[in-house]
Chains A and B, each alone.
Chain A
């Protein structure tokens, strides 16, 4: 076989020799899934393979599917290739997928971050010849503060609100970010959760991830029953009658996009906490360097400038188009919540 080990099709990244796709966006027979976010784990495939840790949430989200788990680092022959999953540090259970044939190694990063968040299995660089890297935040504008710094900001915000009799409503993506935030906060009061957040939290807690106690918001649970509470909810719940039950409240959004003042103001969140489950600019560069890869394909994010940057750094670089064409402005305006 002389064809490329992985090729880029209109269904997603494809391995002809293994007969599988990685995070495909249209129904295929056999799908390897990096993690449970809905733009990676989609409905309708014949057979799913993901980490044991990612499987429960994926099953919960997709319902009746034929799926199988695999351990981190465990190798498996699929067709003529060897496949293994390695921690990506993005959310609990997330993986990079390594595909090897003979001496040639490719790694698909999925989504990843380099900083250890204390909850997700920490990112491990996987040596390879060709690395397919996300670049959601692939511009030097994006430099995250250490998690401890953001944790202190969050705690101060929560405490100030509580002192003034306001509830604190924190908008965050329901899988990964929401749970990460819980673990970052001091035990300063009750943590209430929107149903969409609580479901995932319960599943992860049952899997053995160490998460603080949370209370699902149901009838009778409000600012009176739980004064000084922190409420974690998906962004879509803000401004709805659901959120108004908490009376006077301060709302904030936790996302890497909050680094940009324009986006922060447009979304009407005065308070934004800059915290992301994606690698920042230094993180992307560090991770790519650590793989030792000579060739890098970039996908999902600021692909055009990031590829040019990598070429100037001496890499052979290309772009993998995603379903949406990888338009930068669109990516940012849709504000990837993770």
Chain B
């Protein structure tokens, strides 16, 4: 654990990519092989399930530290991190031990489901032998909350450097749902790699387009598609393997049984990139519908009928068992359309509509996105390969501006981690007659300087405390941006927002100028009755009003789940 802690601290101590890569490369060359495998797993989101819940940890730690529970909570509110609070509170180890990462994680996995007394005895005995930094990491692993400031791309690069394998090849070998407890370092890094047949490709990802689209050059070089709000996924149909992967590399084949017939119809050796959406017959249903499916491991028939899944294909990554990723998008898109056109009707699979056009036409098309249940457009360069991960320049997400509402802050709570001690988590209200009705929370969108100023303000304008939460004088007004709105009986306001965040602190506005609940209700009615335009009307070639060109081209796109 000491070696792993040293790696963690090296990552924590710098924001420079070069320094991080060098430290990680050195680790991948020298750490015990089993520890390397676990590190790869952790850095690619394959965290072990938590063996202990937070309540148990608090109780055990407070008792081990000889501190009353209320004082433990006060300390936690300041540190803003449970693992760190415990690491600081416990008395220092008298004799430090140094178990390997491999041994520690195997012990944690074995602990799951054991009686409390057994888990407690184990955890407290480990605490007693670790230094504060190792203790902190142990706690993070214990609670399933481990994160390190290293992107998966950076980890892949370091691993490529340490092993001499090309980066894109390494990225591919790490895909899939391999189990670190049963995988050797060589299994991952050498030819053959993990779970061969069902292994997905690394997803290509897009960057947000901040500039005007004509900064991208001639529109003729680009293909536009709707940016759907669903689950980005890959369908793998190879001899002996049929799998559906989410972008988070969860195997979701069983959650969407309606796709099972595809294995009988897709040509062997096919890999599709696309978006799983909830399907209303000829257009996607709102994301809220799909959410009902996401949570379910097995799907009741009724839900399957109400919220059927549909795969809108963006790209063809493998055709006849041949990796197509290096071919230009225009070619991949043409082959995708040809392949899908040959399938029998009635399958839950169709090409995601794509369009060509000049920038004015595409801008107009983008304006229709909400009516199509899309978030905006994706722009993909027709000549581009299917990249590994996010490579800036060929794929852009060109989203609609968010909805906005001006609201007043009602409650404030300190953040966690980097934002411990800063009030960053706010609850906002709109006006309803003479009342202020809380309707959303938001945590992001302001600068550190603004959060610091608000923190000072909260200190002086607290009306009431509820543990870590402060009720404040309703005075500060913020412009809240959000991507969607839906009815929600669970909330007092009757509405729930999708992706709310603070766009601006409106220091020029007072509480008298905030928006009303009636205004939000009106917006809800408006979005619940979408326009008459449907996604299936937007076929390749007729998206942009001003364009006569046919495409026949189009590839994959990146979305966030």
Q: Specify which chain B residues have a CB less than 8 angstroms from the CB of A271 in the assembled complex.
A: 13
For chain B, residues 385 to 410, give those with C-beta under 8 angstroms from any C-beta of chain A. none
User: Is the CB–CB distance between B92 and A328 below 8 Å?
Assistant: no
Given known contacts A270-B13, A329-B414, A333-B455, A260 and B74 CB-to-CB distance under 8 angstroms:
no
Q: Specify which chain A residues have a CB less than 8 angstroms from the CB of B363 in the assembled complex.
A: none
Residue B80, interface by CB 8 Å: yes
Residue B419, interface by CB 8 Å: yes
Count how many pairs of residues, one from A and one from B, have CB atoms less than 8 Å apart in the complex.
88
Given known contacts A140-B65, A262-B421, A265-B418, A329 and B459 CB-to-CB distance under 8 angstroms:
yes
Kindly supply a per-residue 1/0 record for chain B positions 441-463, scoring 1 wherever the CB is within 8 Å of any chain A CB and 0 otherwise: 00000001000100110111000
For chain A, residues 288 to 335, give those with C-beta under 8 angstroms from any C-beta of chain B. 302, 305, 308-309, 312, 325, 327-330, 332-333
Q: Specify which chain A residues have a CB less than 8 angstroms from the CB of B67 in the assembled complex.
A: 140
Residue B497, interface by CB 8 Å: no
Residue among A262, A271, A312 with max Cβ neighbours from chain B (10 Å)? A262
Residue B539, interface by CB 8 Å: no
User: Is the CB–CB distance between A305 and B420 below 8 Å?
Assistant: no
Number of residues on chain A facing chain B (CB within 8 A): 27
User: Is the CB–CB distance between B70 and A332 below 8 Å?
Assistant: no
Question: Closest B-chain residue to A335, C-beta based?
Answer: B421
Question: Closest B-chain residue to A145, C-beta based?
Answer: B92
Given known contacts A309-B71, A329-B414, A329-B421, A139 and B78 CB-to-CB distance under 8 angstroms:
yes
User: Is the CB–CB distance between A139 and B71 below 8 Å?
Assistant: yes
For chain B, residues 73 to 100, give those with C-beta under 8 angstroms from any C-beta of chain A. 74-75, 78-81, 84-85, 88-89, 92
Q: How far is the CA of A333 from the CA of B421 in the complex (A)?
A: 6
Q: Specify which chain A residues have a CB less than 8 angstroms from the CB of B422 in the assembled complex.
A: 266, 329, 333
Question: Closest B-chain residue to A268, C-beta based?
Answer: B15
Residue among A141, A266, A333 with max Cβ neighbours from chain B (10 Å)? A141
Contact of B12 among A263, A266, A270, A330 (CB under 8 A): A270
Kindly supply a per-residue 1/0 record for chain B positions 417-433, scoring 1 wherever the CB is within 8 Å of any chain A CB and 0 otherwise: 11111110000000000
9 A-B pairs closest in CB distance: A262-B420, A270-B13, A327-B459, A305-B74, A330-B459, A332-B421, A141-B88, A265-B418, A141-B75
Given known contacts A140-B89, A141-B78, A332-B78, A262 and B417 CB-to-CB distance under 8 angstroms:
yes
Q: How far is the CA of A143 from the CA of B79 in the complex (A)?
A: 13
Contact of B78 among A265, A266, A327, A328 (CB under 8 A): A328
How many whole Å from A3's CB to the nearest CB in chain B? 31
Residue B68, interface by CB 8 Å: yes
For chain A, residues 42 to 98, give those with C-beta under 8 angstroms from any C-beta of chain B. none
Contact of B75 among A140, A261, A308 (CB under 8 A): A140
Q: How far is the CA of A261 from the CA of B417 in the complex (A)?
A: 7
Residue A259, interface by CB 8 Å: yes
Residue B151, interface by CB 8 Å: no
How many whole Å from B434's CB to the nearest CB in chain A? 31
A-B contact pairs, 20 of them (CB 8 A): A139-B74, A140-B88, A140-B89, A142-B88, A259-B88, A260-B84, A261-B81, A262-B420, A265-B417, A266-B419, A270-B12, A270-B13, A270-B14, A270-B15, A302-B78, A305-B71, A308-B71, A329-B455, A330-B455, A330-B456
Question: Closest A-chain residue to B66, C-beta based?
Answer: A140
User: Is the CB–CB distance between A141 and B423 below 8 Å?
Assistant: no
Q: Specify which chain A residues have a CB less than 8 angstroms from the CB of B75 in the assembled complex.
A: 139-141
Q: Specify which chain A residues have a CB less than 8 angstroms from the CB of B448 in the assembled complex.
A: 266
How many whole Å from A329's CB to the nearest CB in chain B? 6
Q: How far is the CA of A332 from the CA of B452 in the complex (A)?
A: 11
Main secondary structure of the interface of A (DSSP, over half): helix
User: Is the CB–CB distance between A302 and B74 below 8 Å?
Assistant: yes
Question: Closest B-chain residue to A328, C-beta based?
Answer: B78
User: Is the CB–CB distance between B70 and A308 below 8 Å?
Assistant: yes
Q: Specify which chain A residues have a CB less than 8 angstroms from the CB of B13 in the assembled complex.
A: 270-271
For chain B, residues 17 to 74, give those with C-beta under 8 angstroms from any C-beta of chain A. 65, 67-68, 70-71, 74
Q: Specify which chain A residues have a CB less than 8 angstroms from the CB of B416 in the assembled complex.
A: 262
Q: Specify which chain A residues have a CB less than 8 angstroms from the CB of B414 in the assembled complex.
A: 329
For chain B, residues 103 to 154, give those with C-beta under 8 angstroms from any C-beta of chain A. 136
Q: How far is the CA of A199 from the CA of B455 in the complex (A)?
A: 34
User: Is the CB–CB distance between B12 and A262 below 8 Å?
Assistant: no
Q: Specify which chain A residues have a CB less than 8 angstroms from the CB of B88 in the assembled complex.
A: 140-143, 259
How many whole Å from A10's CB to the nearest CB in chain B? 16
Q: Specify which chain A residues have a CB less than 8 angstroms from the CB of B78 in the assembled complex.
A: 139, 141, 260, 302, 328-329, 332
How many whole Å from B146's CB to the nearest CB in chain A? 14
Q: How far is the CA of A262 from the CA of B81 in the complex (A)?
A: 9
Q: Specify which chain A residues have a CB less than 8 angstroms from the CB of B420 in the assembled complex.
A: 260-263
User: Is the CB–CB distance between B92 and A262 below 8 Å?
Assistant: no
Q: Specify which chain A residues have a CB less than 8 angstroms from the CB of B15 in the assembled complex.
A: 268, 270
User: Is the CB–CB distance between A265 and B71 below 8 Å?
Assistant: no
Q: Specify which chain B residues have a CB less than 8 angstroms from the CB of A262 in the assembled complex.
A: 79-81, 416-421
Question: Closest A-chain residue to B84, C-beta based?
Answer: A261
Q: Specify which chain B residues have a CB less than 8 angstroms from the CB of A312 in the assembled complex.
A: 68
Q: Specify which chain A residues have a CB less than 8 angstroms from the CB of B84 in the assembled complex.
A: 260-261
Q: Specify which chain A residues have a CB less than 8 angstroms from the CB of B89 in the assembled complex.
A: 140-141
How many whole Å from B341's CB to the nearest CB in chain A? 53
How many whole Å from B272's CB to the nearest CB in chain A? 41
Interface contacts beyond A262-B421, A329-B421: sample of 5 additional A-B pairs, CB < 8 Å, sorted by A? A140-B75, A143-B92, A262-B81, A270-B14, A332-B421
For chain A, residues 95 to 152, give those with C-beta under 8 angstroms from any C-beta of chain B. 139-143
User: Is the CB–CB distance between A141 and B421 below 8 Å?
Assistant: no
How many whole Å from A265's CB to the nearest CB in chain B? 4
Q: Specify which chain A residues have a CB less than 8 angstroms from the CB of B458 in the assembled complex.
A: 329
How many whole Å from B429's CB to the nearest CB in chain A? 22
Q: Specify which chain B residues have a CB less than 8 angstroms from the CB of A142 in the assembled complex.
A: 88
Question: Closest A-chain residue to B457, C-beta based?
Answer: A330
Residue among B12, B80, B88, B414 with max Cβ neighbours from chain A (10 Å)? B88
For chain A, residues 217 to 244, give those with C-beta under 8 angstroms from any C-beta of chain B. none
User: Is the CB–CB distance between B92 and A325 below 8 Å?
Assistant: no
Q: How far is the CA of A261 from the CA of B84 in the complex (A)?
A: 8
How many whole Å from B359's CB to the nearest CB in chain A? 40
User: Is the CB–CB distance between B459 and A325 below 8 Å?
Assistant: yes
Q: How far is the CA of A143 from the CA of B75 in the complex (A)?
A: 13
Q: How far is the CA of A263 from the CA of B419 in the complex (A)?
A: 8
Q: Specify which chain A residues have a CB less than 8 angstroms from the CB of B419 in the assembled complex.
A: 262, 266
Question: Closest B-chain residue to A257, C-beta based?
Answer: B421
How many whole Å from A309's CB to the nearest CB in chain B? 6
For chain A, residues 135 to 175, give those with C-beta under 8 angstroms from any C-beta of chain B. 139-143
User: Is the CB–CB distance between A333 and B452 below 8 Å?
Assistant: yes
User: Is the CB–CB distance between A260 and B459 below 8 Å?
Assistant: no
Q: How far is the CA of A139 from the CA of B84 in the complex (A)?
A: 14
Q: Specify which chain B residues have a CB less than 8 angstroms from the CB of A328 in the assembled complex.
A: 78
Q: Specify which chain B residues have a CB less than 8 angstroms from the CB of A261 in the assembled complex.
A: 12, 79, 81, 84, 136, 417, 420
Residue among A261, A325, A332 with max Cβ neighbours from chain B (10 Å)? A261
